[in-house]
C-alpha cells in the first residue's frame, strides 16, 4: 500500500466518502504539500482547526467559501497573539521573527481549497478567481489543490495588477505582476529620479523587477536603457509596464543574472536589501541569500562601465541595523573591486512601518519586535566610479 511518505512531494492525497483522491499541489512558495489531509465544512471551530494545523493535519474545505475566510481570519488572530521574544542581539531577534513568520505561514497554509480544471471553485459563495489564478499559475488542465492563504494572495496580486501602483516620480502607474515586487516604497524611486544624471547615452538597470527604474531613466532622457532580471515573471512584467508607459522603444528587457553583455555610461542597481533566504517569489525583491546580487553588482561594475561612467547603488541600511552586514563590509567590497565613492544621498523611508502607523505597529498583525529598527532605517544612493590608477 502506498503511504504518504511514498507520495510525490507535488501532490495532495485525501480520503473522502471512502475513496482515495489525489491532486497536484499548487504553490509559488516554499510551503510543501501537507502529508495529512481531511475534509471539513462549516462545523469546524477555529480552536479545533488550530489544533489540527499545529499537529500537521490540513483541512480541505467543503463548506461555504466565506466560512473558510472567516476561519482563516480566526487563525490569524490566534497566531498574532504569539509574541517573538526579543534578544539583545538584533540578528537573533530577526531570525526568530523570520521563524515565527514561517510558522505562521505553515499554519495558515493548512486551510485548503480545491480548484477545478479551469480554476473554478465549487463552493457556496465562492468568487470567480479564474483570471487571478491564470496570472499566478498559468493555464490549467486538471483539478488541483492550493492553500486559501495563497489563493487570496493571488487575488490580491490580480487587483494590484489591474489597478496599478501610482509612482509620483513617473506621474503614472506601474502594474506589478504576480510574484514581482511592487514599487510601493517611493523613496528609492525618488532617489534615482532626483540624482544628478551624468552624461549617459546608455544605462543598465540591473534587477529591474517591474521596470520602474528603467522607466525613470528613459523619462529622464537616457537614450538607451538595458533592463535585466533573472526571473521570467519580472521580464514579462517590465516589458508590459514599459510598453504601457510608452518607452519600450528606448528600453530593452533582457533575462540574465545581473549584467547584460557590453558596457554603459550609467549602471543602476537596487538589489534585495537583506542577506537572508527568501521563502517565496515575492520575497526575492527583499531577501537575497548571502547578498549574491549586491556582490555581483560591485564585482562586475569595473568591467561594465564606460570611462567616466557611474554606478548607482540604491541600498537600505536595514541589514546593517540588524547586524546582518556592517558598513565596513560594504565599503570593503567597493575597495576590493577598485571603486571609489563619488557621493551618497540619504533619505528616510515614508512607508507606514517606518513611521509607526502601519498595521504591525498598531497590533493588527501582532507585535513587530523590529519596529524600532525599521523606524530608524535610511535608504541611500551610492554614486560609484572606477578608481583611477
Q: Which domains does the chain have, with CATH numbers?
A: 11-160 (no CATH), 164-386 (3.40.50.150)
Whether 343 has a pLDDT exceeding 70, the answer reads yes
pLDDT of residue 353: 55
Whether 231 has a pLDDT exceeding 90, the answer reads yes
Q: Give dist(CA 62, CA 201) in Å, integer.
A: 59
Q: For 98-112, 149-163, 218-232, 358-372, which range has the lowest pLDDT when averaged over its residues?
A: 358-372
DSSP-derived secondary structure for 345-357: EEE---SHHHHT-
Q: Grade residue 9 by pLDDT with cuts at 50, 70 and 90.
A: low
Among 260, 194, 200, smallest CA distance to 229 is for 260
Q: Give dist(CA 389, CA 371) in Å, integer.
A: 44
Among 380, 372, 344, 383, smallest CA distance to 90 is for 372
Total-model pTM? 0.88
pLDDT of residue 267: 98
Are 268 and 309 within 8 A, CB to CB? no
For residue 385, what is its C-alpha cell? Answer: 566610479
pLDDT of residue 279: 76
Whether 252 has a pLDDT exceeding 70, the answer reads yes
DSSP H helices, the chain, are 46-54, 65-80, 90-108, 130-137, 148-163, 186-194, 212-219, 232-244, 292-304, 318-321, 327-336, 352-355, 359-362, 371-376
Whether 2 has a pLDDT exceeding 50, the answer reads no
pLDDT of residue 29: 83
Whether 125 has a pLDDT exceeding 80, the answer reads yes
31-87 confidence digits (pLDDT tens): 899 999 999 999 999 999 999 999 999 999 999 999 999 999 999 999 999 888 898
Mean pLDDT computed over 277-305: 88
Q: For 7-21, 168-182, 254-268, 310-324, which range has the lowest pLDDT when averaged over its residues?
A: 7-21
Q: Grade residue 263 by pLDDT with cuts at 50, 70 and 90.
A: very high
Mean pLDDT computed over 215-219: 97
Whether 164 has a pLDDT exceeding 70, the answer reads yes
Mean pLDDT computed over 85-104: 90
Whether 280 has a pLDDT exceeding 90, the answer reads no
Amino acid at each position: 500500500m502506498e503511504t504518504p511518505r511514498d507520495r510525490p512531494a507535488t501532490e495532495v492525497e485525501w480520503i473522502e466518502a471512502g475513496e482515495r483522491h489525489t491532486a497536484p499541489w499548487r504553490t509559488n512558495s516554499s510551503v510543501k504539500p501537507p502529508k495529512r489531509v481531511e475534509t471539513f465544512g462549516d462545523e469546524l471551530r477555529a480552536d479545533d482547526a488550530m489544533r489540527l494545523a499545529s499537529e500537521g493535519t490540513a483541512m480541505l474545505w467543503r463548506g461555504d467559501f466565506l466560512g473558510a475566510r472567516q476561519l482563516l481570519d480566526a487563525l490569524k488572530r490566534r497566531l498574532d497573539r504569539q509574541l517573538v521574544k526579543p534578544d539583545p542581539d538584533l540578528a537573533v531577534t530577526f531570525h526568530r521573527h523570520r521563524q515565527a513568520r514561517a510558522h505562521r505561514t505553515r499554519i495558515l497554509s493548512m486551510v485548503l481549497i480545491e480548484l477545478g480544471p479551469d480554476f473554478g471553485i465549487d463552493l457556496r459563495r465562492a468568487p470567480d478567481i479564474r483570471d487571478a489564478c491564470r496570472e499566478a499559475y498559468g493555464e490549467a488542465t486538471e483539478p488541483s489543490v492550493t492553500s486559501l492563504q495563497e489563493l487570496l494572495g493571488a487575488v490580491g496580486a490580480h487587483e494590484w495588477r489591474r489597478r496599478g501602483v501610482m509612482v509620483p516620480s513617473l506621474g503614472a502607474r506601474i502594474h506589478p505582476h504576480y510574484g514581482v515586487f511592487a514599487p510601493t516604497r517611493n523613496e528609492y524611486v525618488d532617489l534615482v529620479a532626483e540624482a544628478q544624471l551624468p552624461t549617459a547615452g546608455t544605462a543598465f538597470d540591473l534587477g529591474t523587477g517591474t521596470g520602474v527604474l528603467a522607466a525613470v531613466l528613459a523619462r529622464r532622457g537616457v537614450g538607451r536603457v538595458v533592463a535585466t532580471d533573472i526571473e521570467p515573471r519580472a521580464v514579462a512584467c517590465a516589458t508590459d509596464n514599459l510598453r504601457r508607459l510608452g518607452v519600450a522603444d528606448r528600453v530593452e528587457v533582457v533575462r540574465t543574472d545581473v549584467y547584460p553583455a557590453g558596457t554603459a555610461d550609467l549602471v543602476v542597481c537596487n538589489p534585495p536589501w537583506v542577506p537572508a533566504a527568501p521563502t517565496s517569489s515575492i520575497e526575492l525583491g527583499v531577501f537575497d541569500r548571502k547578498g549574491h546580487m549586491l556582490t555581483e553588482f560591485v564585482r562586475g561594475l569595473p568591467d561594465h562601465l564606460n570611462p567616466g561612467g557611474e554606478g548607482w547603488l540604491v541600498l537600505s541600511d536595514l541589514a546593517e541595523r540588524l547586524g546582518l552586514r556592517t558598513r565596513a563590509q560594504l565599503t570593503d567590497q567597493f575597495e576590493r573591486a577598485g571603486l571609489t565613492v563619488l557621493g551618497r544621498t540619504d533619505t528616510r523611508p515614508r512607508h507606514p512601518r517606518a513611521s509607526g502607523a502601519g498595521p504591525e505597529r498598531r497590533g493588527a498583525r501582532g507585535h513587530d519586535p523590529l519596529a524600532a529598527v525599521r523606524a530608524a532605517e535610511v535608504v541611500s544612493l551610492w554614486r560609484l566610479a572606477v578608481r583611477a590608477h
